[in-house]
């Protein structure tokens, strides 16, 4: 885009004799309105096939009555410079609609993007209205903020249904809970979050699903959705301790390995351990999950059982019954273990979600929650540029273990 000639700009500035930045902003606002006006007039010239001052016959070559100008209609648009009043040109047949600002649009100059940006930071509709008023001296209602945010729902749906890669070495699954209004009352709903690490070693949010409460049955629907969107193979699923996870994963991805989060397992199994015993018990338990290999880990688990089996049988039983999905990481080198050892990678994502949504104690409906989490996801993923550490070594290990 060409700049305004320096001499012309100098002549304009000298003629205005500005004495404050406020006067400069007002002049810029007037210039914005004039330029917008000329763009629309030029658009209508192109639409009609002749310029405003040009004489032309009333009929086209087929003898049909030509479309022609039919005055203007006033319209006030909200911009980052403030409110600007423009005269939108009209045609007799009502066929012309400005491309630069839609017929029913009342926002221009990136105002909608600013509103969505504030919305994605977790600000309420009322707070956004006040912020826009403070920044640009433009009045917008909370209802208008809601309407603008509604425009992104097709984008949210397209993102949620987008095709995915055929292979993800690691997939992490977890849920974060919110209060959502339903049937005139607020209920707790789970936002099911799936994070994948692709073959390039980069993280991506594969989708977010809203459900009544966290359950293995709903996770089964999520997994089927992933498969329908193109995910044919997952090497390792990293999950928390939800009952039924194993069955849900095995039914959709029977060849995938499962690693239950060690941190979740520790919390769950030691929940009822007495305060006076917890320090000693944890020291013994650490020899199990920090063992060099599975053989050593099993030997230490037997010692742990001998020491604590009578006092805390449920704690020992929990490790024994889930050993097949707790011990998966022992088959891998340190580079892979660091990735799958816990679900910290997705819990970190959920912490960012909570940070963004902390000012919103509840949501009016499922779509309101979807919009917020989608916009938050866009901001978060922008910063995910680095690959997993030592990814070349990790990939070599995976190529050998999953060669079939």
Residue pLDDT, tens place only, 86-141:
777 777 777 776 655 655 455 555 566 666 766 666 666 676 666 666 655 666 67
Choose between 60 and 240: higher pLDDT.
240
28's enclosing H/E stretch is: helix 21-48
Which pLDDT score is estimated for 294?
95
Give the separation between CA 144 and CA 251, rounded to whole angstroms.
46
Q: What is the DSSP secondary structure assignment for residue 66, as one 8-state letter?
A: P
Which pLDDT score is estimated for 48?
74
Number of Cβ atoms within 10 Å of the Cβ of 194: 24
63-78 residue pLDDT tens: 455 677 777 777 776 6
Give the separation between CA 212 and CA 189, rounded to whole angstroms.
5
Is residue 214 within 8 Å of residue 190, measured between CB atoms? yes
Give the separation between CA 287 and CA 280, rounded to whole angstroms.
12
Give the separation between CA 217 and CA 195, rounded to whole angstroms.
19
Scan for tokens 């990814």, then name that residue.
Answer: 391
Handedness of CA 153, 156, 161, 163 (dihedral sign): positive
Question: Collapsing DSSP states into helix, strand and coil, what is residue 307?
Answer: helix
Q: What does the block give as tokens for 317?
A: 């039983």
Scan for tokens 């009016």, then name that residue.
Answer: 364
Number of Cβ atoms within 10 Å of the Cβ of 336: 24
E strand residue ranges, 200-348:
203-211, 233-239, 257-260
- Region of 82 please: left (phi>0), alpha (psi -120 to 50) or beta: left
**Which one of 57-61, 85-89, 373-377 scores highest in mean pLDDT?**
373-377
Domain ranges, ordered by start, for the chain: 1-105, 110-151, 163-401
Question: What distance separates the 2 farthest-apart alpha carbons in the chain?
Answer: 103
Is residue 402 within 8 Å of residue 199, measured between CB atoms? no
How far is residue 49 from each of residues 44, 79, 105, measured CA to CA in Å? 8, 31, 26
294-343 residue pLDDT tens: 999 999 999 999 999 999 999 999 999 999 999 999 999 989 999 998 88
Work out the mean pLDDT of the chain and round it to a whole number.
Answer: 81
Nearest to 219 by CA among 251, 260, 180, 197: 251
């Amino acid at each position: 885009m060409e700049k305004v000639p320096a001499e012309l700009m100098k002549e304009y500035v000298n003629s205005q004799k500005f004495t404050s930045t406020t006067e400069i902003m007002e002049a810029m606002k007037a210039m914005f309105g004039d330029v917008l006006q000329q763009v629309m007039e030029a658009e209508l010239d192109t639409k009609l096939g002749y310029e405003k001052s040009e004489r032309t016959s009333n009929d086209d070559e087929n003898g049909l009555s030509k479309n022609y100008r039919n005055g203007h209609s006033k319209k006030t648009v909200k911009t980052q410079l403030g409110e600007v009043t423009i005269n939108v040109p009209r045609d007799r047949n009502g066929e012309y609609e400005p491309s630069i600002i839609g017929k029913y649009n009342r926002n221009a100059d990136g105002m909608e993007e600013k509103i969505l940006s504030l919305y994605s930071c977790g600000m309420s509709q009322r707070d956004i209205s006040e912020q826009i008023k403070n920044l640009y001296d433009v009045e917008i209602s909370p209802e208008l903020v809601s309407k603008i945010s509604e425009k992104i729902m097709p984008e949210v749906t397209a993102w949620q249904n987008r095709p995915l890669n055929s292979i993800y070495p690691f997939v992490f699954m977890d849920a974060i809970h919110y209060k959502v209004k339903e049937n005139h009352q607020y209920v707790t709903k789970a936002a099911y979050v799936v994070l994948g690490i692709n073959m390039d070693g980069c993280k991506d949010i594969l989708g977010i699903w809203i459900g009544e409460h966290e359950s293995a049955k709903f996770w089964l629907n999520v997994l089927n959705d992933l498969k329908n969107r193109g995910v044919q193979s997952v090497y390792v699923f990293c999950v928390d301790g939800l009952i039924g996870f194993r069955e849900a994963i095995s039914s959709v991805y029977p060849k995938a390995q499962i690693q239950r989060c060690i941190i979740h397992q520790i919390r769950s199994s030691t929940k009822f351990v007495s305060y006076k015993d917890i320090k000693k018990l944890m020291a013994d338990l650490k020899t199990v999950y920090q063992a060099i290999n599975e053989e050593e880990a099993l030997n230490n688990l037997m010692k742990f059982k001998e020491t604590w089996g009578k006092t805390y049988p449920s704690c020992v039983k929990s490790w024994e019954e889930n050993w097949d999905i707790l011990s998966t990481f022992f088959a891998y080198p340190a580079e892979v273990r660091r990735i799958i050892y816990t679900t910290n990678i997705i819990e970190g994502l959920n912490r960012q979600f909570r940070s963004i949504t902390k000012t919103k104690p509840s949501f009016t409906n499922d779509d309101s929650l979807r919009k917020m989490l989608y916009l938050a996801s866009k901001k978060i993923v922008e910063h995910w540029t680095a690959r997993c550490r030592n990814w070349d070594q990790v990939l070599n290990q995976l190529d050998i273990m999953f060669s079939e």
